[in-house]
Chains A and B, each alone.
Chain A
């Protein structure tokens, strides 16, 4: 039976390590070279853009997996592999649980103590992981790898390191009794256990041995890296990278009227501010998780971009540009696609053939082909055009009517857009050129002349709206299929790309359920792809229920999607072909802080795409927003961003945030008797 190579969206459980390295796409590394250079780096992006995949390359497990595989090389270029990485996930490690100690009447001193305990806890966790990383490499017994990374296999050096580090003043004498690595690790573990008892509220206070030896954020990490080098455990040129993931969680600790979460962020900034060549930090955060002004703890200083840190914005790396040739996402997606199929073909029955996206999904349909899919018969096309002509009024010059009728059976899209052209010409300002006569009949064998021939962009910009209107007129769903559509709907998010393909594949397997495996071949039919993509869009929308303002975001997205669909379908003159997005003046956003904050969150959670917008009005600064492309099939609007979006005010956003009255839609099942059959 044919399997679904995209069933596993993440590289996970069912995938053995040797396969995992084959599935890993090195393309992402090409765009993130700063990750493997000294200096602090903020890696930010939406969920599913690949930042965890990137950060995981710093883990020793990833390095060892590549090492053990003969199928792929560790995808870090040149001299960059001489590094070790360690770190924490703020959510998983429990550091966020200090929040449980807060109360409304907490004294400033107690609050400050909690801030410093957070710093101490983080320090100890990182140092322990750093030592564990060295141990994992050493225990691999791979001398070539140790040489490549720059780690000594000599156990005595590790004990020297432990003794040296234990004597450092950074511990405030907490490690005085330590003489070996084992004792050092035990000492750290014991301290962390006390912390966890405290965080679980099993003890009311931490012992003085901890509270009187709180370390300074980042200091023990620097000293550990230095001691590893001085003692010869690490070669002098080995870089040390420290991961701190889920940084965006920290502001959630601003509760009980405190700024505790902000202070914890500032502590992390303080660690970065050391700008010490011994250690570089890698901070993983969601879009908008990193503040505009990263203030350093207990100072008014801020970290400076380029001087104190660099940013890898994965959303930006993979965002579609005006010039498609500079768009990086397709190469990444194509590489992952063919890797998935090649690996799957080894164990599941995947039809033989070209394992490229085009080979499997084909190219996307041309606009004319799409129009023909929406209205499949010449008679149907003529009927639709008759309706359009009728709406142009009885005073339409006969020559134009005849011209459009002649065009309709063979080129419905051009005929439809000609009607829009006529409408525009008849309703535009007084001094603009009049409608004039239609293009002359073509010489036999030549294609018909088109009214917009001298303005090719007029047509190009209106293809999506024209197709939408034709589909809507004939009560058809928009079709989505082929490489371009799948890439466009993915919006630069690899998770979305795989999600779309997973559903396309499922739809295809359903379609072929009565066909023998040997008779199945690529490419997948466009109609089947379109069905799968539509199902993916529905499912994606239903998943968008988590995080801050989730229900408000759902309300807003529904209202906006509906508004844009109606705007586009009702715009018979196609005057606003870019009305699948909205634009708001920045000054208005600054005034409407609630709306602004909401939109920032909606972008941060991937419901909306936001970017600066060059206004029609000179000097005016605006921001434009589009729905996440994968939602386009659900809301029946084009995914391509063309021309000017709709200019709206913050008030409109507020209106769309109000739940729509359910009106007269009755609920067939307003309540149910039991949740779990708990009748007694």
Chain B
């Protein structure tokens, strides 16, 4: 897309882990204990395809809601299973609230990165909120101690058809992704990952960037995608369009839902490799969000989100299996000390 560049290995997790560059390595896995079964997928690979050196999990607890009890029950179950899968000597667990300050997480991350076991790191974002994995990816990439870094996104059996998240907050920067100035005048591009529920995103876009500026909005539309989801994604676009007419169809940029590398390239094109200042709103699939994060890190861009306070306890259930192993995608971000993005 953007011409010659580094080869960025990615594909199904079980394929990537078998590749020569990775198969003999021992990994430090950073994941989270969640209500979603798929948070365990990566640990189910350990022993067969992955050699686990150690792991650190964050147990991220939603704000109090009508789902609190059910969420707690589900987390108890996944935690018990995780404890069964990973021996005590190799695991550590830290609890945080979904909207807690992020500084304590940074302290933890600094501790992990100072360890010899953490030369090769897998960050599993499958069930991890953007509010946590965006800063974690920043700190991991800041660390020179890490030789290899892989991001994984594992798949569930099914998602709920209920609303996925509730009580979204105001439009705000994700922690550690605030800009270098208080001025929106230089913002040329607002790049939105198309998800299912925009909450009040259109209003915020207009109020924040379009009142006095000429920023252009681009929507990263996950396509190809399952037919049922295309409808929900178009509904997201429609809700944006109602109050924010898109100037032309070029504003909707189609990228396959799991193509992190392609998404990153598209962003590079849209921003002319960062020459055009952009802000990001990661509402779409996680691989798109990771691509946004990587670009934002390179260009010191702001990333905004309307953070929900709680999620449906059955946001996703089950673990999708393929050839007897949990299915999902893995993306090499740093290979032998070289950043691929």
Contacts and interface: CB of A to CB of B under 8 A. Distances in A.
A103 B207 contact: no
Contacts of A539: 242
B170 A91 contact: yes
A551 B210 contact: no
Given A547-B169, A675-B285, A678-B257, A201 B212 contact: no
Contacts of B160: 670-672
Contact of B226 (A13, A201, A677): A677
A99 B106 CA distance: 14
B273 to A, nearest CB: 22
Interface in A27-48: 47
17 contacts: A59-B212, A89-B182, A91-B170, A92-B208, A100-B103, A101-B101, A103-B104, A196-B178, A546-B306, A547-B168, A550-B167, A551-B66, A551-B166, A552-B66, A675-B226, A675-B229, A678-B258
A9 B207 CA distance: 11
Chain A contact-residue range equals 35 or more
A672 B166 contact: no
Contacts of A102: 101, 103
A508 to B, nearest CB: 16
| Dominant secondary structure at the B interface | loop
A433 B328 CA distance: 79
A255 interface: yes
Contacts of A502: 242
A249 B101 CA distance: 15
B299 interface: no
B215 interface: yes
A9 B243 contact: yes
Contacts of B168: 545-547, 550
A12 B210 contact: yes
Contacts of B65: 551
A200 B177 contact: yes
Contacts of B310: 551
B215 A13 contact: yes
Contact of B172 (A91, A129, A549): A91
B31 interface: no
B135 interface: yes
Interface in B177-221: 177-182, 184, 196-197, 199-200, 203, 206-208, 210-215
A61 B184 CA distance: 13
B188 to A, nearest CB: 12
Given A545-B163, A545-B166, A545-B167, 11 more contacts: A9-B206, A56-B211, A94-B182, A100-B101, A101-B101, A103-B101, A550-B168, A551-B167, A673-B157, A673-B159, A677-B226
A480 B299 CA distance: 51
Interface in A236-274: 246, 249, 252, 255-256
B215 A678 contact: no
Nearest to B310: A551
Contact of B224 (A8, A543, A677): A677
Given A255-B101, A549-B167, A193 B180 contact: yes
Contacts of B167: 545-551
Interface string A77-113: 0000000000011011110110111110000000000
B184 A92 contact: yes
A73 B316 CA distance: 57
Contacts of B329: 678, 680
B340 to A, nearest CB: 21
Interface centre among B175, B184, B211 (most CB of A within 10 A): B211
Interface in B310-341: 310, 314, 316-317, 320, 322, 327-329
Interface string A187-226: 0000011001001111000000000000000000000000
Most interface-central of B157, B175, B215, B306 (chain A CB within 10 A): B175
Given A12-B210, A200-B176, A673 B226 contact: yes
B166 A550 contact: yes
Given A674-B159, A675-B159, A676-B229, A255 B306 contact: no
A107 to B, nearest CB: 14
A256 B169 CA distance: 18
B160 to A, nearest CB: 6
B179 A13 contact: no
Contacts of A514: none
A427 to B, nearest CB: 41
B224 to A, nearest CB: 6
Nearest to B224: A677
A669 interface: yes
Contacts, number: 182
Contacts of A93: 182
A574 B163 CA distance: 39
A678 B155 CA distance: 7
A7 interface: yes
B161 A670 contact: yes
B222 interface: yes
A674 B226 contact: yes
Interface string B90-132: 0000000001111110100000000000000000000000000
Contacts of A200: 176-178
Interface string A645-680: 000000000000001000000010111111111111
B271 interface: no
A324 interface: no
A356 interface: no
Interface in A533-580: 539, 543, 545-552
Contacts of B272: none
A14 interface: yes
Contacts of B100: 255-256
A12 B178 contact: no
A125 interface: yes
Contacts of B211: 10-12, 52, 56
A192 B200 CA distance: 30
A494 to B, nearest CB: 14
Contacts of A92: 182, 184, 208
Contacts of B1: none
Contacts of A246: 170
Contacts of B228: 672, 674
B172 A201 contact: no
A463 B100 CA distance: 53
B199 A100 contact: no
A396 B271 CA distance: 79
A680 B155 contact: yes
B82 interface: no
Contacts of A256: 100-101
A13 B214 CA distance: 6
A77 to B, nearest CB: 24
A252 B99 CA distance: 10
Contacts of A673: 157-159, 226
Nearest to B164: A675
A11 B212 CA distance: 9
B103 A10 contact: no
A547 B307 CA distance: 10
A8 B245 contact: yes
Contacts of B2: none
A14 B245 contact: yes
Contacts of B320: 679-680
A539 B239 CA distance: 10
Contacts of B243: 8-10
Interface in B280-317: 285, 306, 310, 314, 316-317
A201 B66 contact: no
B189 to A, nearest CB: 13
